[in-house]
Structure 1
Amino acid sequence: MLEPAERYTGYKAYDYLEPGVDYRVFDYAKQIGRVPEYAGLELTTAEAERAERLLREEMVISLHEHVQVFPENMDHLKDHIRQGREPTGYEGLARSGLTVVFDNGMDGTCCISSDAGWKYQDVLFDLGVRMADLAHQDFVIKAETLGDIRYAHETGRIAHVFALEAATMIENEVDRLDVLYGFGVRQMGIAYSEANTLGSGLKERGDGGLTYFGERAVARMNKLGIAIDISHSGDRTCVDVIKASTKPVFITHAGARTVWPTNRMKTDETIIECARRGGVIGIEAAPHTTLSPEHPKHSLESVMDHFTYCVDLVGLEHVSFGPDTLFGDHVGLHHAFSSQLSLGQAHGQVEFEEVPYVDGVENPAEAMGNIIGWLVTHGYSDDEIRAVVGGNTMRVLEEVWV
């Protein structure tokens, strides 16, 4: 893990407010050292120096994270969420080596006013409060354009891109996409497991594909310059979206179903169609997702089994990483929101050994550093590493964003 970035001044979330007066105080999980450092990489001195150089100097992008910090005691989770003031993990991000992070915030756990989540008013509240906090420091900057990303890279900052895992909150109002774009959203999913007015999610018994309204929404996202994500959509809906979009789409955080046969993973057909039209798949690492027969206990090694499979399937230029990590007990979060996150339907009947955390990709501070270390030890060239940790995503954004 890197030393803190030079530009980071020590700002903590909502430092401009008075704790206990302006907001309720909780004890939050450690951003650094909550779990032991990953011991699975054995780098020589030269390899370690090379991996650190790549992490520090190159454009490093995570296609999917949740960079907020969660309560240390997850019994306090619902109360914490109700106040709608998610703290960004600036300390951890300062050690991450990231240039760009696509942050999906509360998303399926956006339960400020309703346990059902996904309410338009809640999503706007979450976005607005997070933006107010970002505006009070200048290390993590709100990024809406390619110019913002390049500025962050040149000046030692982190470009923070607001993203949403589904468009459920727009209901049947396509103009809400314009509002969300105005708030800074630059990437959006179609459906999150449950079907919505746009199409089917991956948990449903049947998949009717992209709806007529969904086609209108896809067209509007293309016009606005919102990158489209199909990670949680059903199989038919995924392919329909890829074909309906005039721009390449992302699978921001998933793996290959051929490697691990659950609905949460993508079929070869979906991955191939995505790549054929210029898109990119970001390899997932949230607990109990990208397992593999060779590494059924979830760790960096099982994550990279999905990476190598996808590279062999569609080529290195169409693969990247969306680890989907956070600061805190991710497994505890899944337990607390198992119904909203549709974990049972996503895993189906496939059995797995539960782990307390994914060793090697537990949080945003360590994820990309360990991934780069793995790539170095497995013989990938600097150019290949540049492509999969940032270049492939930038290529798509140059075509999608306006």
Structure 2
Amino acid sequence: MYSPAAKPDDYESFPYLRRGVDFPAVELSDPAARRSRFTAGSDDDRIDHLLADNVTISFHDHPQLLPADFADTPAFLRAKHEFTAFAELRRAGLTAVFDNWFGVIGSTRRTGWKWDDLITTLGLRLADLAHQDGVVVARTVGDILGAQRDGNVAFVMGTESAGMIENELDRIDVLYGLGIRQMGLVYAEANTLGSGQKEQRDGGLTVFGRRAVERMNAVGMLIDVSHASDRTSLDAIEASAKPVAITHAGARAVWPIARMKPDEVLKACAERGGVLGIEAAPHTTVSYDHRAQSIESVMDHFTHAVEVMGIEHVAFGPDTLYGDHAAFQKAISDVIGSSTVFDAGDLEWERVSHVDGLENPTENFRNIAGWLVEHGYRDEEITAVLGGNILRLLGEVWR
């Protein structure tokens, strides 16, 4: 399945193109091949109703297929055609997914993504979505509610970095016009807007960054500080006239690495009306109590965030893909010549082949709902963190 020799109807993305003829092809993973051992719980009927009767939103995911052979990673990263596991995603119980492929791949190339790369990939992505049944591109809250009513999956276009706008403020308007509704200010390394989490000297938000925040507020684009430095995050939250999101991260008090957010940032985000999406990508949301990452370690970050921020400011942005995510991390590190890009420092922890319970977008939210049911959360609390909190935030930010 998903081999270069496959017939056109054996894969879903770009059905109007000839694979291996109209674009280079690498063999892709089978999206149904990897499942966690974790079970969602015993109350299947309650879980079914929670997912079917309410708006469920992934604040950050990559519903694309990874290469089957990670020797193909360089070719995979160069390609601008992205393959989505649409059938799998329809089984996930999701109303909407914040699709953030754009920009993050630029961080895995030595020269980074440029403006033309972003626009080309975004256009190709929208063309693919336009040729799919049962999916819509969400530009308004009404689009998400309509997807829930009609049984469709809504894709919210986002990018993890604003680096590609360089110092051109009007490019924010262009991206908004093309459907981008959420943008990260910085991805790990500093750009013209501010410092990223990898910088040793935290310069915070720049003058241009403040102008970008103002423009994003004005146009109605959600600001994300997931990969921004602590100072940049705090500066952006303070400078923004609208609530700011942390679409995918965890709590540094639970696992003290730069990728996680300190309580100071979490509190500031909540005080201004923002929402945190709990991260689940391998080797991120580890915890002192669960040093081999699983749904249990991820939920350690959730419970801490609820204590610090209040449950009305917490959601989930699992940041997962279809395929061997842990092996993909290693392959990316090899491509960019860094063995520490996903390093958790000198702390005692255990590398895993997958995050049991949160392996891919298909199983994530059913397992999260099951965990919450098993741990005594009320229905109104569960529906809030599965999507209601994000929907409220979007109503305040989007125009």
* TM-score w.r.t. length of structure 1: 0.93
Which of residues 91, 104, 109 is equivalent to 1:108? 104
Counterpart in 2 of 1:238?
233
Shift of 1:354: 0.8
- Secondary structure at 1:19 match in 2: coil
Counterpart in 2 of 1:371?
368
Shift of 1:331: 1.4
2:160–2:185 CA contact under 8 A, matched in 1 = yes
Counterpart in 2 of 1:206?
201
Counterpart in 2 of 1:37?
36
Q: Could you tell me how far apart the structure 1 residues matched to 2:367 and 2:338 are? A: 27
Q: Could you tell me how far apart the structure 2 residues matched to 1:177 and 1:342 are? A: 33
Counterpart in 2 of 1:156?
151
Counterpart in 1 of 2:171?
176
- Farther off after superposition, 330-339 or 70-79: 330-339
Which of residues 377, 383, 397 is equivalent to 1:386? 383
Shift of 1:162: 0.7
Provide closer, same or farther for how the CA distance between residues 342 and 280 of structure 1 changes in structure 2, counting only shifts above 3 A.
farther
Give the root-mean-square deviation of aligned CA atoms: 1.9
Shift of 1:68: 1.1
Counterpart in 2 of 1:395?
392
Q: Could you tell me how far apart the structure 2 residues matched to 1:222 and 1:111 are? A: 25
Q: Could you tell me how far apart the structure 2 residues matched to 1:216 and 1:107 are? A: 21
Which stretches in structure 2 are left out of the alignment for 5+ residues?
Answer: 1-8
Matches for 1:114-125 after TM superposition, within 5 Å: 115-125=110-120
1:31–1:89 CA contact under 8 A, matched in 2 = yes
- Secondary structure at 1:163 match in 2: strand
Matches for 1:60-209 after TM superposition, within 5 Å: 60-110=56-106, 115-209=110-204
- Secondary structure at 2:362 match in 1: coil
1:263–1:348 CA contact under 8 A, matched in 2 = no
1:22 aligns with 2:22: yes
Provide closer, same or farther for how the CA distance between residues 340 and 272 of structure 1 changes in structure 2, counting only shifts above 3 A.
farther
Shift of 1:111: 7.8
Which stretches in structure 1 are left out of the alignment for 5+ residues?
Answer: 1-8
Which ranges of 4 or more aligned residues in structure 1 deviate by more than 6 Å? none
- Secondary structure at 1:396 match in 2: helix
Q: Could you tell me how far apart the structure 1 residues matched to 2:394 and 2:229 are? A: 24
Q: Could you tell me how far apart the structure 1 residues matched to 2:375 and 2:142 are? A: 33
Counterpart in 2 of 1:290?
285
Shift of 1:117: 2.3
Provide closer, same or farther for how the CA distance between residues 168 and 381 of structure 1 changes in structure 2, counting only shifts above 3 A.
same
Provide closer, same or farther for how the CA distance between residues 346 and 183 of structure 1 changes in structure 2, counting only shifts above 3 A.
farther
- Secondary structure at 2:360 match in 1: coil
- Secondary structure at 1:347 match in 2: coil
How many residue pairs match? The answer is 389
* TM-score w.r.t. length of structure 2: 0.93
Q: What amino acid maps onto 1:107 in structure 2?
A: G
Partner deviation per Cα, 1:207-231 (whole Å, 9 max, x = no partner): 1111000000000000111101001
Q: Could you tell me how far apart the structure 1 residues matched to 2:339 and 2:207 are? A: 25
